[in-house]
Every structure is written in structure tokens, then in C-alpha cells.
């Protein structure tokens, strides 16, 4: 399986996000890598922005070398003796991803984040939500599907 978290943020101006991204990576022990627009697999063309706002296109991974989000979004509770560098409870690991998303939005002063959370790069549902409801909606989707919801979220800030 290829648990995958990829997307983009829109923001105004010419910010250099690199130093801020490094601080987020260290803070949460994850990886954030800049990718090209053609790596936004299965994103509908209607959702790919064509406005004049700067975009930062990214993938988030469990570490900064292997950009797969298996631990962050598999939604399984691990045994107490599991040797992973994240909490063993699925909800706690999902909260790390949501914290990373929130920090990305805040540091860039983003107007919008579009992000897919999928098991195999297949987007089944598109949801437009407000930043204020992001945590509740994504937690509810994980509870409903008991795993990655194969959903593309357009988060309006």
C-alpha cells in the first residue's frame, strides 16, 4: 500500500518557505518535500488553481528520505512494544499530520490548502471545508473509513 499525503498551499507574496519547512520537519520528525504539479496524482483539473497566488506543492512523509505516510495515516493502533518513532495510537499519529497541516497553513499565511489523503493515490471524494473545521472533518472521515479516506480536501483559510 502507498499511504500518501500530497497537495499544495496558495499564499500571496514571494516567501521562502525552506527554513520554516525544516523547522516543521524537525519539530514533528517527518519529511516535507517540494514536488512538481504533475505529481499531484489524480487531482482533478478543476481543483488545480490557475490564479496568480504563489503555490507550494508538496508531499508529506514519515521521514525526510522516504515520502510515504504509512505511519501517519494507516489508522491502526500498534502494540505497546512497537518500535516506531511516532505514538502507537492511530488518532495521536493523525493529530501529528493535522498539526503539520496547520503549521504549513500558518507559516505561509495560506489562503487555501488542497491536500489528498489516500491509500493508493485514488481520490474518491472531494470536500471543501473551512480551516476551523479541518480537524473535526478529517477525524470523522478516518473514523468512518477506519483508514485513509481517499479524499481530497480543499481547505479554505
Query: For the chain, how are helix, strand and coil distributed in percent, rounded to 5?
Result: 35, 25, 40
Give the Cβ contact number of residue 32 at 10 Å.
Answer: 22
- Phi, psi values for residue 62, rounded to 5°: -65, -20
Q: Is the confidence at residue 95, as pLDDT, over 90? A: yes
Q: Residue 1: pLDDT band by 50, 70, 90 thresholds?
A: low
C-beta of residue 7 within 8 angstroms of C-beta of residue 87: no
Whether the predicted model's global pTM rises above the 0.85 cut: yes
Tell me the per-residue pLDDT of 120-143, one tens digit each, with 9 for 90 and over. 999 999 999 999 999 999 999 999
Q: Which residues of 128-157 are buried (b: 16+ CB within 10 A; e: fewer)?
A: eeebeebeebbeebbeeeebbbbbbbebeb
The three cell numbers of residue 148 are 485513509
What's the pLDDT at 51? 59
pLDDT tens for each residue of 8-56: 999 988 888 888 899 999 999 999 999 999 999 999 988 886 556 768 9
The pLDDT value given to residue 12? 84
Q: Provide the 10 A C-beta neighbour count for residue 120.
A: 12
Amino acid at each position: 500500500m502507498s499511504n500518501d499525503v500530497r497537495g499544495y498551499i496558495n499564499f500571496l507574496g514571494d516567501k521562502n518557505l525552506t527554513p520554516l519547512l525544516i523547522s516543521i520537519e524537525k519539530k514533528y520528525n517527518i519529511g516535507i518535500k517540494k514536488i512538481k504539479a504533475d505529481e499531484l496524482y489524480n487531482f482533478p483539473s478543476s481543483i488545480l488553481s490557475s490564479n496568480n497566488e504563489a503555490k507550494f506543492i508538496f508531499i508529506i512523509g514519515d521521514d525526510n528520505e522516504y515520502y510515504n505516510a504509512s505511519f501517519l495515516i494507516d489508522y491502526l493502533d500498534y502494540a505497546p512494544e512497537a518500535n516506531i518513532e511516532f505514538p502507537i495510537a492511530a488518532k495521536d499519529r493523525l493529530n501529528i499530520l493535522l498539526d503539520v497541516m496547520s503549521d504549513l497553513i500558518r507559516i505561509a499565511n495560506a489562503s487555501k490548502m488542497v491536500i489528498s489523503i489516500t491509500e493508493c493515490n485514488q481520490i474518491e471524494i472531494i470536500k471543501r471545508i473551512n480551516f476551523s473545521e479541518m480537524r473535526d472533518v478529517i477525524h470523522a472521515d478516518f473514523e468512518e473509513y477506519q483508514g485513509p479516506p481517499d479524499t481530497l480536501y480543499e481547505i479554505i483559510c
